[in-house]
């Protein structure tokens, strides 16, 4: 699997990042199998969060075996210093490790939340303390709304975050405002040499009312290999500024994303876009978010 430099952190990170949200509601056997599937494919960057159900607890039992083989990132969604400090310590316990490579300010999707995170007594102060005490090596920011790229650009102005995890897919990029906000974020990323990672690559649309939901994702994902490969090729082949993309929060889709990363060499970004243009029900996942 291709690896790319994770910004100034220097880690040669696999372009597929294991989205451990997939482990939030599975048993340990299914979690172990999925983790091994990722490792066997060459994935060396795992991304989890305290808010992902039981995901940290599912990763923890494997940590003694794999800790030195992976870049480990988690997130805190708390907004005050005290709450975030407690959660960071709890994440270390759940993950059965004494160090995390990247702690991320989770779901910072609007300026109100950015104010809470970066303000006096906010969660960022807890992350800075954790870094100073050697518990975490780096600090990042994440978010998942149509406003996220603009909010993250402002976040970089306020604090020198080591990484940004923001949404991007072909459908979002076709929106002029989103594309402009994303381009501004890329410029800020390049100026600071931070790492840029993305989410929602295979999001197809929101679930429709009454629709059967065969996957654990809160959005309707692509599940046809043709479209997963096209989405992956469009993103990775056309966006060298991106160091990696998080796999979907569903263990049953991981193998298709691994296959897509292998197959993408056969598709230019333009050819991939033409395939995705075939999809009639392709829309932003942020039209009707469930939270």
- Mean pLDDT for 56-76 is 97
Indicate the pTM of the whole model. 0.97
In a domain, 289, yes or no: no
Model pLDDT for residues 262-281, shown as the tens digit of each residue: 999 999 999 999 999 999 99
Residue 223 confidence (pLDDT) above 80:
yes
In a domain, 94, yes or no: yes
Listed residue (16, 99, 83) closest to 50, CA to CA: 83
- Predicted confidence at residue 19, as pLDDT, reads 98
How far apart (Å, rounded) are the C-alpha atoms in residues 30 and 100?
A: 24
In a domain, 109, yes or no: yes
- Mean pLDDT for 193-200 is 98
In a domain, 283, yes or no: no
Domain that holds residue 211: 3-276
Residue 289 confidence (pLDDT) above 90:
no
Confidence of residue 87 (pLDDT cuts 50, 70, 90): very high
Confidence of residue 290 (pLDDT cuts 50, 70, 90): confident
Domains in the chain, number: 1
Residue 124 confidence (pLDDT) above 90:
yes
Listed residue (101, 255, 55, 248) closest to 169, CA to CA: 248
Q: Are 17 and 46 in contact (CB under 8 A)?
A: yes
DSSP assignment of 224-281? SHHHHHHHHHHHHHH-TT--EEEPPS-GGGHHHHHHHHHHGGG--HHHHHHHHTT-TT
In a domain, 108, yes or no: yes
CATH number, position 262: 3.20.20.100
Residue 32 confidence (pLDDT) above 90:
yes
In a domain, 230, yes or no: yes
In a domain, 44, yes or no: yes
In a domain, 281, yes or no: no
């Amino acid at each position: 699997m291709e690896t790319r430099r994770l910004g100034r952190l220097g880690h040669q990170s696999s372009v597929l990042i294991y989205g451990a949200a997939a482990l939030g509601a599975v048993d340990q056997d299914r979690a172990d199998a999925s983790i091994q599937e990722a490792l066997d494919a060459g994935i060396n960057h795992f991304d989890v969060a305290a808010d992902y159900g039981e995901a940290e607890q599912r990763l923890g039992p494997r940590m003694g075996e794999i800790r030195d083989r992976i870049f480990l990132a988690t997130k805190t969604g708390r907004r005050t210093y005290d709450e975030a400090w407690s959660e960071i310590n709890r994440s270390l316990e759940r993950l059965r490790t004494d160090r995390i490579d990247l702690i991320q300010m989770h779901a910072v999707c609007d300026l109100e939340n950015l104010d809470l995170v970066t303000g006096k007594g906010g969660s960022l102060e807890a992350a800075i303390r954790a870094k100073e005490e050697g518990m975490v090596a780096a600090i990042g920011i994440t978010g998942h709304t149509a406003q996220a790229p603009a909010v993250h650009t402002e976040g970089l102005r306020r604090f020198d975050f080591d990484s940004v995890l923001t949404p991007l897919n072909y459908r979002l990029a076709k929106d002029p405002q989103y594309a402009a906000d994303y381009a501004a974020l890329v410029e800020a990323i390049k100026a600071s040499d931070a790492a840029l990672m993305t989410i929602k690559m295979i999001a197809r649309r929101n679930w429709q009312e009454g629709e059967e939901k065969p996957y654990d994702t809160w959005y309707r994902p692509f599940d046809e290999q043709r479209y997963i490969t096209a989405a992956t090729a469009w993103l990775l082949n056309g966006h060298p500024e991106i160091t990696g993309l998080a796999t979907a929060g569903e263990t049953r889709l991981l193998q298709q994303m691994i296959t897509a990363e292998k197959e993408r060499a056969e598709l230019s970004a333009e050819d991939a876009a033409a395939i995705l243009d075939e999809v009639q029900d392709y829309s932003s996942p942020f039209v009707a978010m469930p939270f």
